[in-house]
């Protein structure tokens, strides 16, 4: 938000002098880029960059489906992207304008092709896993030394959660993340679109519901860093950002990220160009800029998420490329699973279940 | 001719800003959801003639609202929150308005300014400020812990209590201003007359002041009740996940389910619920205007 305001003021200030400067409008997740890259883009290309942020796929999707969002580049997660492609929300990329496209990593491209056939509409920006953000010291104080700090049992067994409630637990407010992991815990197929299977997630979630402090998809970064909570179900890089903020604040809070040994959800955030983008040419320039090996490496070094750019890996810092929480080892990768989008009738079942879990109604 | 233009202005205003948007929402509420841009398929075309239009009307989205207890529970819970916060606002707002109206003449503009002053800051920032005050590590808890009144921090943020605080705080000026206007116009000699005739100060207040400020009270209550009923921002920022309000349900339908038709049906029903108090309010205003002539 701060970033958004500063760029906005900068743009307003610029706007008076160069009223007809070319603009690119980018809509990305909050806390998801090194701000220096934004000014670097403006310096290199002379294009004015307007950078806005969101923290939920639902908000982005509604803008895409309504049309006329005015954005040139948006960053939906792959399962949402797939549905929006079907709805006709995006335009095909013109690869001839993307000279850096050969930097992309085939391992990730093969996986994202499940959502976007031939990667025709999108490029991968970041990918990661959904797991546990932990204040390990506090968790062990509450649950003892042998606390299951890398297992779904930590957050889905009521007896663990009852004790953890004292120090605070946040869950992502994202049914498309929490329901698959609950199904995984039950030994069901996490990618199931069968309403009867999905309904099974209700029991365990309702049982731990009284001990969940809050459902939120971005506040947990600060809450973990401040020591306000001891467990968050969150996205890998966000937890690692919390770890760094706590270290910077030097407040004695130590945060760690663990994927689930039972298997974690793997997700991909994809950059795409809306069908009605005002400046598709500028959008391609932005995508090409992001795909530059050094720029992409700078972004990953800053936000602690892995990227889908093979060439960037030589510029990654050791605490990024060498950290298995960010770039998991072979063994963990095998254990990761992905989620395809819910059909709309099933989506209603999922949302209704989620409302029930959150509000008890 | 001049008279015609004078009447036409408010009518055009209502037509463009109320009737047309309402008809669009109504049209979407009678459509089917679809994976498209925009995400619904119209159920009927205006062009096919009036009979085709009526025979195609499909109320399945409204029927759907009755099939799940979530919706009426959310309407009821919103109603409860709106009624209680209107009452609390009146309880706090009346004494403030009374004090302002009884204050020395030269103070009144300053007091009035103080009531309006919060509007100079964005509503969103003021609600965020409450998050800072009410949170576990917030100012209120720090003060109470420091002064020794409590030993454990109170959990206020993310509960219904925080929602009530937010609504009462935000809408208080809308209660104070009409009541103040009514009390300010009141003839002070009426109280003297009541006291001369043997009323105690309290009885005079109940028998003279309160009835004379009735219109202000009614106006204030409607100005608080109507927006509080559909409130979305305050419960989503200050409320917990257990705070069930229709504004939030509408958001979920619109954003999570991508079901614009059902979301529109929820909005149409909300409007029907609100139209009753709005019409009562209008009638009250009209009667007041007539009484003054």
Q: What is the ipTM of this complex?
A: 0.74
Find the CB nearest A89 among B37, B136, B254.
B37
Mean pLDDT throughout A99-108? 95
List, for residues A231-267, the tens digit of each pLDDT value: 999 999 999 999 999 999 998 899 999 999 999 999 9
On chain B, the residues whose CB falls within 8 A of the CB of A230 are none
> Is residue A314 scored above 50 in pLDDT?
yes
> Is residue A13 scored above 60 in pLDDT?
no
Mean pLDDT throughout A296-318? 95
Give B229→chain A minimum CA distance, Å.
Answer: 18
Which residues make beta-bridge pairs with A256? Answer: A134
- Interface touch B158/A347, C-beta < 8 Å: no
Give B37→chain A minimum CA distance, Å.
Answer: 5
- Interface touch A359/B38, C-beta < 8 Å: no
Minimal CA–CA distance to A337: which of A199, A177, A195? A177
Q: Which of A2, A57, A64, A65 would you mutate first to test chain B, the one with the most B CBs within 10 A?
A: A65
pLDDT at B54: 65
- Mean pLDDT of all residues in chain A? 91
What's A50's DSSP letter? E
Alpha-helical (H) ranges within chain A are 2-17, 35-45, 57-66, 78-86, 106-112, 136-143, 153-156, 158-164, 175-185, 195-199, 202-208, 220-226, 236-249, 280-291, 293-303, 318-321, 330-335, 344-359
In chain A, the residue whose alpha carbon lies closest to the alpha carbon of B262 is A348
On chain B, the residues whose CB falls within 8 A of the CB of A86 are 35
Sign of the CA dihedral running B24, B27, B32, B37: negative
Find the CB nearest A86 among B35, B243, B258.
B35
- Interface touch B37/A348, C-beta < 8 Å: no
| Intervals of chain B under pLDDT 50 | none
> Is residue A6 scored above 50 in pLDDT?
no
pLDDT at A288: 97
Strands A48-54 and A231-235: unpaired
> Is residue A134 scored above 70 in pLDDT?
yes
Give A65→chain B minimum CA distance, Å.
Answer: 5
Rounded Cα distance, A169 and B61, in Å: 37
> Is residue A82 scored above 80 in pLDDT?
yes
pLDDT at B136: 81
pLDDT at A1: 42
What's A104's DSSP letter? B
On chain A, the residues whose CB falls within 8 A of the CB of B249 are 355
pLDDT at A277: 96
Mean pLDDT throughout A15-34? 79
Q: Which CATH class is domain B68-292?
A: mainly alpha
- Interface touch B244/A344, C-beta < 8 Å: no
Count of Cβ atoms closer than 10 Å to residue B45 Cβ: 10
On chain A, the residues whose CB falls within 8 A of the CB of B241 are 214-215, 358-359
Find the CB nearest B241 among A67, A83, A214.
A214
pLDDT at B286: 82
Find the CB nearest A215 among B35, B137, B241.
B241
For residue A159 the two structure tokens come to 């007896």
- Interface touch A64/B33, C-beta < 8 Å: no
List, for residues A202-236, the tens digit of each pLDDT value: 999 999 999 998 888 888 999 999 888 999 999 99
Mean pLDDT throughout A123-136? 96
> Is residue A17 scored above 50 in pLDDT?
no
Q: In chain B, what are the domain boundaries?
A: 68-292
For residue B199 the two structure tokens come to 């009323």
Name all contacts of A18-21 with Cβ < 8 Å and 24+ positions apart. Answer: A18/A48, A21/A46, A21/A47, A21/A48
Chain A interface with B: residues with Cβ < 8 Å = 56, 58-59, 61-62, 64-67, 83, 86-89, 175, 213-215, 226, 228, 275, 344, 347-348, 351-352, 354-356, 358-361
Give B34→chain A minimum CA distance, Å.
Answer: 8
């Amino acid at each position: 938000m701060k970033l958004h305001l500063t760029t906005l003021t900068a743009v307003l200030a610029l706007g008076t002098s160069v009223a007809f400067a070319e603009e690119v409008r980018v809509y990305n997740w909050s806390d998801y880029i090194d701000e220096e890259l934004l000014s670097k883009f403006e310096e290199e290309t002379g294009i004015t960059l307007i950078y806005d942020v969101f923290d939920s796929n639902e908000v982005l999707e509604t803008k895409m489906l309504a049309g006329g969002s005015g954005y040139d580049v948006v960053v939906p997660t792959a399962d949402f992207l797939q549905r929006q492609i079907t709805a006709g929300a995006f335009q095909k990329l013109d690869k001839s304008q993307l000279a850096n496209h050969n930097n992309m990593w085939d391992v990730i491209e093969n996986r994202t092709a499940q959502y976007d056939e031939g990667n025709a509409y999108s490029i991968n920006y970041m990918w990661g896993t959904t797991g546990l953000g932990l204040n390990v010291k506090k968790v062990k104080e509450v649950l003892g030394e042998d606390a299951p700090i890398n297992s779904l049992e930590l957050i889905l067994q009521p007896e663990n959660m009852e004790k953890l409630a004292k120090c605070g637990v946040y869950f992502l407010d994202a049914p498309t993340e929490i329901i698959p992991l609950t199904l995984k815990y039950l030994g069901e197929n996490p990618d199931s679109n069968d309403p009867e299977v999905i309904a099974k997630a209700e029991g365990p979630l309702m049982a731990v519901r009284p001990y969940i402090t809050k459902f939120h998809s971005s506040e947990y970064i600060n809450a973990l860093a401040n020591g306000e909570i001891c467990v968050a179900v969150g996205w890998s890089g966000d937890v690692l950002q919390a770890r760094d903020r706590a270290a910077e604040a030097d407040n004695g809070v130590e945060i760690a990220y663990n994927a689930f040994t039972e298997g974690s959800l793997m997700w991909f955030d994809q950059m795409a160009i809306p069908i009605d983008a005002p400046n598709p040419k500028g959008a391609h320039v932005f995508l090409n800029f992001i795909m530059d090996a050094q720029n992409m490496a700078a972004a990953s070094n800053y936000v602690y998420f892995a990227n889908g750019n093979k060439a960037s890996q030589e510029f990654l810092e050791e605490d990024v490329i060498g950290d298995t929480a960010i770039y998991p080892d072979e063994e963990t990768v095998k254990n990761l699973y992905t989620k395809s989008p819910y059909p709309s009738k099933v989506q209603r079942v999922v949302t209704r279940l989620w409302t029930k879990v959150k509000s008890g109604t | 001719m001049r008279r015609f233009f004078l009447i036409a202005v408010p009518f055009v205003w209502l037509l463009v800003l109320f009737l047309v948007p309402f008809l669009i929402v109504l049209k979407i509420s009678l459509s089917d959801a679809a994976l498209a841009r925009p995400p619904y398929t119209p159920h009927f075309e205006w062009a096919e003639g009036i009979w085709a239009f009526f025979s195609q009307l499909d109320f399945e989205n409204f029927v759907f609202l009755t099939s799940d207890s979530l919706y009426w529970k959310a309407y009821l819970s919103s109603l409860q929150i709106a009624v209680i916060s209107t009452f609390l606002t009146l309880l706090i707002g009346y004494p403030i308005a009374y004090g302002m109206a009884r204050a020395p003449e030269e103070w009144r503009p300053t007091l009035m300014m103080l009531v309006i002053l919060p509007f100079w800051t964005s509503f969103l920032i003021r609600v965020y400020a409450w998050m800072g005050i009410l949170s576990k590590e917030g100012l209120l808890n720090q003060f109470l812990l420091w002064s020794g009144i409590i030993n454990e921090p109170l959990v206020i943020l993310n509960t219904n209590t925080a929602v009530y605080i937010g609504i009462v705080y935000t809408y208080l000026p809308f209660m104070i201003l009409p009541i103040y206007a009514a009390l300010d116009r009141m003839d002070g000699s009426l109280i003297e007359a009541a006291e001369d005739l043997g009323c105690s100060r309290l009885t005079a207040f109940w028998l003279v002041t309160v009835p004379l400020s009735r219109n202000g009270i009614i106006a204030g209550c409607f100005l608080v009740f109507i927006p509080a009923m559909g409130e979305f921002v305050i419960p989503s920022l200050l409320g917990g996940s257990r705070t069930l309000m229709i504004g939030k349900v509408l958001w979920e339908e619109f954003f999570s389910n991508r079901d614009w038709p059902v979301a529109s049906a929820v909005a149409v029903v909300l409007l029907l619920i609100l139209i009753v108090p709005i019409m009562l309010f209008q009638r009250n205003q009209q009667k007041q205007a007539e009484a003054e002539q």
